[in-house]
Structure formats: C-alpha cells, structure tokens
A = this chain, B = another copy of it.
Amino acid sequence: MNLKIAVLPGDGIGPEVIAQAKKALYAIGEVYNHEFVFEEALMGAIAIDKTGNPLPEQTLNLCLNTDAVLFGAIGDPKYDNNPNAKVRPEQGLLKLRKALGLFANIRPIKPYKSLIEASPLKREIIEGVDFTIFRELTGGAYFGAKTLNEEGTHASDLCEYSEEEIARIAHLAFKSAQNRKKKLTMVDKANVLETSRLWRKVVQKVGEEYKDVALDFLFVDNAAMQLILNPKQFDVILTENLFGDILSDEASVITGSIGLLASASLGEKNALFEPIHGSYPQAKGKNIANPIASILSAAMLLEHFGLCKEANVIYKAIEKAIEFKVVTVDLKSDSKFGTNEVGEFVSNFI
C-alpha cells in the first residue's frame, strides 16, 4: 500500500514522540512492503513563532491532500497565562479539526496487564476494563460564538448542536458497540442543558436502528464518578465535545499513564491520529517523554487503512516493551530508558 502521510510534530515533546512513531512506520513499511511517504508541516506555537499563524495555509492544504495526518502535541505555557493573547496554538488544532471535518474522536481505554500496578486505582477495579470513548469533535462550546465586551468584564461561550451533528457520530458509536459488547452509554447533562436534551432525543432515535445495542444514559457528574468507581460497566461511551475532553483525560488514569493512550479523529474523508497527552513542555528535549501513545496513534492509522496485521505487530511490540520494562520514567521511576530507546526497541521488534 502507498500512503501519503502529513506529519505535524507540533510543540513541546511533539517532535520527539512523533520521531518514534515514524520509526515504527518505516519499519512496518520495510517488512510488509508498504510505501509511506511523510511530509512535515508546522502547526501550533511553533507555527506562530515562524509564521504568525497557528495553522499556516500550507499546512492546511497539505492535510487536505494526504491520506492521513499524524499529529504530535500542541500548546505552550507562554500563551496559557496570557488571557490577552490574540493568537493561540490551540486555534490551529481546532481549525484543522473543523477544516478536515473530523467530527468523531475515538479513544480506546484498555489497561496493559503488566501495568496494572501503575494505576492509582486498585487492581480489582481496573482488571478487565475495556471501553471506547466517542467524543464529538467539531461542535459544542469549542466552536460556538464567543464574546468579550469592550471593557473586558463580560464574556460568553455558546454551545450549539444540530440533529445531524449528533446523529452522524451516534451512528459510528452504535456500530462500534455492535462489534463490541453491545452497550452504549450516552453521557450528558440533560437535567440542565438544552443541547443535552437534544442529544438524548437524537440518540434515542438513532438507537432504534440498533436494537441489539443496549442504550443507557448518565449525567456527566455521575459519569465522572462511575469511571473511577466501576469502569468495567462501560463498553462504548458517547458524548459531546467538552464532556469528552474531560472524561477521556480522566479515564486515562485507569491505564496508569496518559502517555499510553492514542486517539483517532475521523471525518467523512479525512483522518488524524494523535496521542491524547499534551505538549508537556517541562519534558521537552530531555528524552524522557513516553513515545508509546504516539506510536500507538501510528498503529491506529494502520488499522484505519485495513492494515490490521501490521497494527497488531506494533501492539505486540509495545506490549513487549512494557513487559521487559523498556519504558520511560512515567511508568518506572528509576528507568534508564528514554524516548529514543523505547522507540528503538519497538521498531527493532517489528
């Protein structure tokens, strides 16, 4: 197979972890005879520094015209504590999601057996956990109108959803549930929010086409609790953009490290793959960032194109790295291995 892949290393530890993902894909290409052509481009704080624009035209065009996007991480503290900054790195990512129509962000949560002890949760709580979060990614408060009055004393964010926006991701989530444990949990705040009530109505309706899937509803406050009290109850979780952002980061604690989780963002035509962790600026350039999430996002990319055997080889390689404790310090505080070494181990294993 020939794949043209746009690579956006982004900020902080992004470039370091992306380098390991590329290594793994090169190794797969060689062994299984695929041609992966990578083209790098700027996005995020680094793009602002170099061009003034968090998502330069050139980057957007590249992404629109490749088979898939591999993305590192975004964000720089110099923007976070400056409420007056006019341009921010995150705008690049949000604009890209919107422009590529990446409406579904999919985050699988399944702990590694040999890492059960790394979680802050007790073994009996997390053993056997296996669920996937479907987070809507191009709607809600992320993209609604924002206002700030002239005096800078009053601000607002609008959360909006339409029936179509909800229905299209609901279909994906129900289909996924059909191939899994046939259970879908919709998370919302329908006792307070109008958009949540629309979500409930539309998801109930879509659900009628998937009679074999059991549908239930949880308020988001309760869901935040249930994720920790009894995560085994979940199979597929479906939710809107901001709730999905919060709950999927929360769910990462089940696996012991956010450095182990990747996500796929899918649209009608495009697809983007990224670790769920952020740019972790404190670790930048230190060769300590965990590259597994980024390598996993490369494996999700392969799966997306039907290269399941190849993806499985990467999953196996990662399992081996974890089993042999070739891991970064987030997983083993006295580890002697860095980002590079873990990446090397994985690609050598392929």
Contact = CB atoms under 8 A, between A and B. Distances in A.
A83 interface: yes
A144 B160 contact: no
Copies of this chain, complex-wide, total 2
A152 interface: yes
A88 interface: yes
Interface residues on A, range: 35 or more
Nearest to A153: B163
Contacts of A217: 80-81
A80 B201 contact: no
Interface stretch (A18-26, A241-249, A310-318): A241-249
Interface string A223-240: 011011110000000000
A221 B194 contact: no
In the A-B complex, the 8 residue pairs with the closest CB atoms? A224-B250, A221-B249, A146-B194, A155-B198, A83-B197, A153-B163, A83-B201, A228-B253
A159 B156 contact: yes
A100 B194 CA distance: 24
A33 interface: no
A250 to B, nearest CB: 4
B159 A159 contact: yes
Interface of A: 75, 79-81, 83-84, 88-90, 94, 120-122, 125, 141-142, 144, 146-148, 152-164, 189-195, 197-198, 200-201, 204, 217, 219-222, 224-225, 227-230, 242-243, 245-250, 252-253, 258, 278
Contacts of A125: 120
A180 B164 CA distance: 49
A47 to B, nearest CB: 15
A225 B197 contact: no
Contact of A193 (B81, B157, B194, B222): B157
B250 A191 contact: no
A219 B228 CA distance: 20
A153 B199 CA distance: 10
